[in-house]
Structure 1
């Protein structure tokens, strides 16, 4: 087992092209102002833009420019409990950067940096991620969907793993995850820093952005029903806390979700 320290970081404001089928959203960044300040909600303006009320913005030249990123003072890496692995994990033995397998949705680049308790990059650490598609279905399992009649056995979409590079970074091309009953929008990840340790975590997204996507963009709008669980009502998200919220920005024709995961192995 591992204790997990999470630090959320991002570049400064970065304008990029509008996503097809999605309102024009100004580039934005999220950063941790202090260990006691929550990231808060992204508010959607009447004009369709997105702004961040009352949140201090960090302007790093690059979130992964070097270890100076951790020199912003005490409490930057806050210890956070592990999040449950959930019932839908399996190892498809697919080492790959693009995990979409043709699944439709808004493009998302998930970029994680794995470091040790001293904030040094863990080159070679294995990172697995997996999440549901726009309809709320995971690959590889029967009995899914509101009617428990969806069977994706034998499929492996939206799953994969990589080994961290010399900077401790992994980068996955995927889509913005959908939702299913009883859970807020999230992505699962597992980190294997060595042969003796493993940790499980989850990455969460701003409810207001998820709501905008789910109610205005196909194929998310093809999902029947209305989601019943937001971040504040999801027990796993509440226990994980604000440091498990994704730092988001627009890059090219997709979103990018950034997180630094510091792992203290036993």
Structure 2
């Protein structure tokens, strides 16, 4: 077991959380796991030439968060590439193609007038959506495949760029507190607008490139909620900050009396959702 995983095991013990977090990294070889089938290739030049079959693209849609959901359950990898993309947004946010295609500007905002595409209305205008796409500034050139897999699957030679948890509010309380303690930052946890994959992959790396040390809370994308447990959110941290969290955990609030009270609620939440045996149900 690698050192990072050993330390993560201790953090999970303190949090009372069973699910090992996922790591995000890039590779040139396709991993074993879950990803889109070959389909439409999203490219602005192909779009301008009318070469993208949008009916086919939407018909073979494959969400990164959906593949991550399978990876979480099966403890395998989820991945996306330019040739096997499945989602024009996910491909851009994960950095496997750039620049973004114009269709996403209208699709996520108010649609295209005079057509059946009404848009998702997640942004109030195409201009607002374009501003977001340029501001989020995904990584590029890191590898053919963006891979998201359980931390225990990383070899000693591999390091995640981002570590991502999926958890409910009690566990998130502990993670939020630990980030604040490790950094001393007043806004060290942020919840920016983005798709489910944006807040797991893109924003953590973008903030890090800007020299802003923070974790990213996500899971607020209505389109991705079907691939998450009820009441669950994501919590993603660049590796450098995650190492700081691990170094600080033994002297943080996670080892103090106040957290012990919250820790009981962590167990109560698991019982409420049927995730542990019902022993002691009703006791706080």
Shorter chain as denominator, the TM-score bin is under 0.3
User: Which has the larger share of strand?
Assistant: 1
Larger Rg, first or second structure (1 or 2): 2
Structure showing greater relative contact order (alpha-carbon pairs closer than 8 Å, 6 or more residues apart): 1
What TM-score do the two structures reach when normalised by structure 1?
A: 0.25
User: Which has the larger share of helix?
Assistant: 2
